[in-house]
Amino acid sequence: MTFHSRLLGAVASAALLFAAYAGAANAQSPRSDQRPGGIHQPCSSVTPQTCAIANALGRGVNLGNMLDAPVEGLWGVKLEPEYIDKAAGAFTTVRLPVRWSNHAARSADATLDPAFAERVDRAVDALLAKGVYVILDMHHYSQISGDPVHPQEAPVDPAVLEERLVNLWRQVALRYRDRSPKLLFELLNEPHGRMNGEAWNTLAPRVLAAVRASNPSRAVLIGPGEWNSIGELPKLRLPRDRNLIVSIHNYDPFNFTHQGVEYLPHPFPAGTPCCDATQQKMITDALDAAVKWSRDKGYPLHLGEFGAYEAADMRSRETYTRLVRDEAERRGIGWTYWEFAASFGVYSPKTGQWVEPLRRALLE
């Protein structure tokens, strides 16, 4: 994609860009080759600093099913120090999904549980100390999209759902206001259901205002409805703010990436391979649509999630993973793979080793 050259015209803008890229280059692990090769995203609607960050995110991974479980460890994996070391040693960016909503008062003020908040503090600070970009995400606030609560997740009065999200972010943002610009906030993972369309368009500016009270210029990610679907981008109405990056997710072809997932209402049988010409076109058409939207609106993109469940055959998973990686990077879009060490994982907690075909597909 074409970077808007006028953003580089001023000396001050150039200095900001240099500083942002220098910060990435000075990270503590060998990741300098992991940014999309010289391709920059449209940035006419954002500041040079946010543009530089969007284009420096490069290759990343989600530390999923850990702090976003209702209780850490409930979903079979905890955030171990070695996982932080492994993820930060291999990737430029780490997305940290956190279920803040289950560790806060049930009332509208949503006062955070201090022990849990300190747990997140330690994870954020350990990652930042490794030199990676960190996307701190509000994950699995089940009720706000109209979903049933998960086991060991406490329900709240529906009348306070939106106000709790505002107040959760007011506290989280204040807590991290002095952290490095390499810490990014993501307001809500995969809004859907009752948060589709205008509901999210109306709530997002309120949430962002709570963040901006203490973090006036930090890069913030906002995604469209229908689970951050690319097809919903035309319905997304962004707040007036020049420090935004737009988060998209893409699990197409869904009957391949989610085959064997038992929690789906209508599970897909295992045995679907990937990726034939039709499947490839599905992936590239979606990314092309996202790029067109990005060019029209002037906001950079981040592919926050893609991945294939462990029930698929490994050769197909490797092919799919490399294809999505290559096609995203061909368009200059940074990404975070879903996920590190659970059922989509690129690392095996059982063996203490990388799942080598997937690691190669992501990083080589």
Each residue's pLDDT tens digit, 11-59: 333 333 333 333 333 333 333 334 445 678 999 999 999 999 999 999 9
pLDDT at residue 265, as a whole number: 87
Each residue's pLDDT tens digit, 115-149: 999 999 999 999 999 999 999 999 999 999 999 99
CATH fold of 5-363, please? TIM Barrel (3.20.20)
Each residue's pLDDT tens digit, 185-208: 999 999 999 999 999 999 999 999
Average confidence score pLDDT of the chain: 91
CA–centroid distance for 285 within its chain: 21
- Tokens for 49, please give them: 């600093």
pLDDT at residue 39, as a whole number: 72
pTM confidence score: 0.90
Q: How far apart are CA 42 and CA 301, in angstroms?
A: 9
Each residue's pLDDT tens digit, 289-342: 999 999 999 999 999 999 999 999 999 999 999 999 999 999 999 999 999 999
Q: What is the 3-state secondary structure (H, E, C) of 300-342?
A: CEEEEECCCCCCCCHHHHHHHHHHHHHHHHHCCCEEEECCCCC
**Percentage of the residues of the chain whose pLDDT score is greater than 70:** 90
According to DSSP, the residues that pair with 220 across neighbouring strands are 185, 244
Contact 249, 190 (CB under 8 A): yes
Answer positive or negative: Cα dihedral of 292, 295, 297, 298. Answer: positive
The residue among 151, 115, 121 whose CA lies nearest residue 134 is 121
CA–CA distances in Å: residue 48 to residues 39, 110, 195: 15, 35, 31
pLDDT above 80 (res 226): yes
pLDDT at residue 38, as a whole number: 61
Q: What is the mean pLDDT of residues 173-177?
A: 98
pLDDT above 50 (res 250): yes
pLDDT above 80 (res 1): no
Burial 246-262 (b: 16+ CB within 10 A, else e): bbbbbbbbeebbbbbbe
Q: How far apart are CA 224 and CA 250, in angstroms?
A: 12
Q: What is the mean pLDDT of residues 244-271?
A: 95
